[in-house]
Amino acid sequence: MWKWLHSYADPERAYNLSGKLLPWFAMLATALVGIGSVWGLVFAPVDYQMGDSYRIIFIHVPAASMSMAAYMAMATSAFIGLVWQIKSADWAAAAIAPIGAVITLIALITGATWGKPMWGTWWVWDARLTAELVLLFLYLGIISLYASFEDKVLAARAAGILAIVGVINIPIIKYSVEWWSSLHQPSTIRITEKSAMPTEMLYPLLINILGFGMMIGAITLIRFRAEILARNGMRPWVRELAKAEGVK
């Protein structure tokens, strides 16, 4: 009768596998972000237009690009969880959401600290900044919806539907915001990072983008493991762990 409790292979295996992967991700993330940031801060040449303030892009651009990538990863695993009812996919999505929100917040703040010396103002209603702000709201909506449900199986399904609705809407929001800012914005203010970048600047940037990706992977694994434990509290193997670690 208690057979299914012992056929715990699935979550336990996911827990152990992510435990094995975690050190690799953590090591790679630390190394890449360390190299990229030091290279960017110390060795990369000065930009002749923006001076040293441009060194912010070595974290701003990775954060901005990863904020969207993290959303896509979250929505994909939410979709897998909804359609094929794979519970570890739901847990992975729940693990990614707060990380994505923090990364998006970092992208916004670093964007503002870059904007102040460049444009003389902390915030402009630039299309990219606005779209990033909306993305932050989407993340916050998903996180608080997930937190609002007592039953986390339902919470994952509800947040998953919202994440998928968000995926359909992100391109529409992005397009409309871009179109809107082209209407209202005088064309003098433009982020010109697309201009050909010398390779000495490009390498640290690419390293940092990769490093941010690894870092998100590592933190996701940490949270994923905690999520597995929290959702499987009634299984014997988790109880063993709890008895070993739990305090009196």
Task: Tell me the per-residue interface mask from 120 to 139 with another protein, x by CB under 8 A, - otherwise.
Answer: --------------x--xx-
| CA–CA distances in Å: residue 162 to residues 126, 139, 177 | 26, 10, 21
Cβ atoms 29, 69 nearer than 8 A: no
Quick one: which segment of 70-78, 186-194, 221-229 binds another protein (CB under 8 A)?
221-229
- Phi and psi at residue 7, to the nearest 5°: -85, 55
Q: Which position among 9, 20, 48, 150 is part of the footprint of another protein (CB under 8 A)?
A: 150
Contact 212, 205 (CB under 8 A): no
Instruction: Among 43, 190, 198, 202, indicate the residue that binds another protein (CB under 8 A).
Output: 43
Q: By CB under 8 A, is residue 151 in contact with another protein? A: yes
Integer Cα distance of 123 and 119 in angstroms: 9
Asked if 102 interacts with another protein (CB under 8 A), we say yes
**Segment interacting with another protein, rule: CB under 8 A, options 69-77, 113-121, 191-199:** 113-121
Regarding 176 and contact with another protein (CB under 8 A), the answer is yes
Give me the least distance between CB of 184 and another protein, in Å please: 9
Q: Please, which of residues 45-74 interact with another protein by CB under 8 A?
A: 45-46, 51-53, 55-56, 59-60, 63
What would the x/- binding string for another protein be over residues 3 to 42, using CB under 8 A? xxx-------------------------------x---xx
3-state secondary structure 79-142: HHHHHCCCHHHHHHHHHHHHHHHHHHHHHHHHHHHHHHHHHCCCCCCCHHHHHHHHHHHHHHHH
Smallest distance from another protein to CB 218, Å? 8
Which range binds another protein by CB under 8 A, 65-73, 154-162, 188-196?
154-162
Give, as one character, the DSSP assignment of residue 150.
Answer: S
Q: Which residue has the tokens 């693990």?
A: 95
Closest listed residue to residue 44, CA positions, set 207, 193, 203:
203
